[in-house]
Amino acid sequence: MMKPTNKNIKKAASIIRKGELVAFPTETVYGLGANAISSKAVKKIFIAKKRPADNPLIVHISNKNDIYLLAREVPKEAIKLIKKYWPGPLTIVLKKSLIVPPEVTCNLDTVAIRVPQNKIALSLIEQAQVPIAAPSANISGKPSPTCAKHVAQDFKNKIFVLDGGSTKIGLESTVIDLSKKPFTLLRPGKITLEELKKILGKVVVARHNSKKPKSPGMKYRHYSPKAKLILIEGERNKVEEKIRSILTKDCGVLGVNIKIKSKKTINLGKDHRTIASNLYSALREFDDSKITTILAQGTEDKLLGRAIMNRLRKAATKIIKV
Ligand code: TXA
Ligand code: MG
């Protein structure tokens, strides 16, 4: 893990230019970056993460205008979103240009692009002088890393990690597909569906469908701790009652704000921002304990809560509605 000094950022940029991998902080989660216009470099990401070969990557740029290099069509709605939300936790899917190698998009005709809002990330991209393809810097299927230590754990210290401390948001960026109509929310995040609708009008929400996913990333189980995670959804009191009734000595409890004693009870916080920023480190904390089952309390499925519930549902082996 390297302090994000100018010297180390410069070193990281030179590693990217040599076609190797670097992990770096963004405002959402840590990314595992490679030169996005080099097929050879991008392939290394898939190998290092054990990422399924059909799950495309997000291309990170430091200058909004570089979108015109990567996308061959930029609709006016995209320009509106960029003005308001870039740099920031919003990824836009557009029709790709020829410069983007097929390894980045897994042969799709579209490319996902964002400008992150983190000084270290922006400085790294600028100095690398190439766009950086970066998925979350975790082994595929694990919770995304929200601090440098998570990255070092997953990759056994074999990757150069710029340590920018804990990430601000803690959940991955919102992904919106503007490559065709109707515009589709592929992954909920900090920029909410409600906010996007204000600018775009109609937005459909891609439903989780393992057979025919709209975004390749949707079909995989994600963010999974080692223990089974049972998510209990419904009215607050009933959820608490249910958790108490199935709790055994091997269970942990992942609450929002719950008073249930167990072998390991973690409360994520009272408001959605705090819950979002604590979720992944909590899932990893359960990995370090001897819990076999995590009983998780859900939250409201709207605004930022929609992103939290999306991740909890994907992490869950079972969902109980009460
Ligand atoms: O916050 C973030 O977005 C972080 C940081 C590092 O920027 N990155 C991240 O990347 O979460 P990753 O690879 O874990 O998630 C990328 C998501 C996947 O669900 C993938 O399927 C989707 O974006 N995606 C990428 N390109 C796509 C495309 N052309 N069409 C549809 N979905 C795409
Ligand atoms: Mg990921």
- Contact, 178 vs 196, CB < 8 A? no
Q: State which of 55, 58, 85, 118 you would mutate to test the pocket of ligand 1, scoring each by most atoms of that ligand within 8 A of its C-beta.
A: 58
Alpha-carbon distance of 196 to 202, in angstroms, equals 9
Q: Who contacts 137 (Cβ-Cβ below 8 Å, separation ≥6)?
A: 23, 29, 30, 31, 32, 144, 145, 150, 151, 154, 155, 159, 161
Query: What is the pTM assigned to this prediction?
Result: 0.96
- Report the amino acid identity of residue 166: S
Confidence at 287, pLDDT banded by 50, 70, 90:
confident
Gap from CA of 28 to ligand 2 centroid (Å):
11
Ligand 1 contact, 134 CB (< 6 A): yes
CA within 13 Å, CB half, 151: 29
Gap from CA of 136 to ligand 2 centroid (Å):
4
Using a pLDDT cut of 70, give the percent of the chain over it. 95
Torsion on CA atoms 19, 25, 27, 31, rounded to nearest 10: 40
- Contact, 24 vs 135, CB < 8 A? no
Helix (H) or strand (E) holding 156: none
| Statement: residue 173 has pLDDT above 70 | yes
- Report the amino acid identity of residue 204: V
- Report the amino acid identity of residue 145: P
Burial class (CB in 10 A: 0-12, 13-18, 19+), 314: middle
Ligand 1 contact, 308 CB (< 6 A): no
- Give the pLDDT mean for 155-181: 97
- Give the pLDDT mean for 194-216: 83
The string of pLDDT tens digits covering residues 107-133 is 999 999 999 999 999 999 999 999 999
- Contact, 316 vs 296, CB < 8 A? yes
Lowest mean pLDDT among 59-63, 224-228, 259-263, 289-293: 224-228
pLDDT at position 213: 63
- Cβ count near 83 (within 10 Å): 10
Alpha-carbon distance of 129 to 124, in angstroms, equals 9
Ligand 1 contact, 138 CB (< 6 A): no
pLDDT at position 12: 98
Ligand 1 contact, 108 CB (< 6 A): yes
Inter-axis angle of helices 6-17 and 119-128, to 10 degrees? 50
- Give the pLDDT mean for 35-39: 98
Q: Which of 151, 162, 161, 131 is nearest to 42 (CA)?
A: 131
Alpha-carbon Rg for the chain in angstroms: 19
Confidence at 214, pLDDT banded by 50, 70, 90:
low
Ligand 1 contact, 100 CB (< 6 A): no
The string of pLDDT tens digits covering residues 6-30 is 999 999 999 999 999 999 999 999 9
pLDDT at position 157: 85
56 phi/psi in degrees, rounded to 5: -70, 165
- Give the pLDDT mean for 303-307: 97
| Statement: residue 210 has pLDDT above 80 | no
Gap from CA of 121 to ligand 1 centroid (Å):
16
- Contact, 12 vs 24, CB < 8 A? yes
Ligand 1 contact, 112 CB (< 6 A): yes
Q: State which of 175, 179, 214, 219 you would mutate to test the pocket of ligand 1, scoring each by most atoms of that ligand within 8 A of its C-beta.
A: 175
Confidence at 45, pLDDT banded by 50, 70, 90:
very high
Mean pLDDT, the chain, integer:
95
Alpha-carbon distance of 275 to 312, in angstroms, equals 11
| Statement: residue 32 has pLDDT above 80 | yes
Alpha-carbon distance of 137 to 151, in angstroms, equals 6
Confidence at 288, pLDDT banded by 50, 70, 90:
confident
Ligand 1 contact, 282 CB (< 6 A): no
- Give the pLDDT mean for 253-268: 95
Number of residues that this document lists for the chain? 322
Q: Which of 187, 178, 173, 191 is nearest to 217 (CA)?
A: 187
Alpha-carbon distance of 93 to 218, in angstroms, equals 15
- Report the amino acid identity of residue 178: L
Question: Comparing 218 with 141, which gets the higher pLDDT?
Answer: 141
Sign of CA dihedral 9, 111, 204, 182: positive
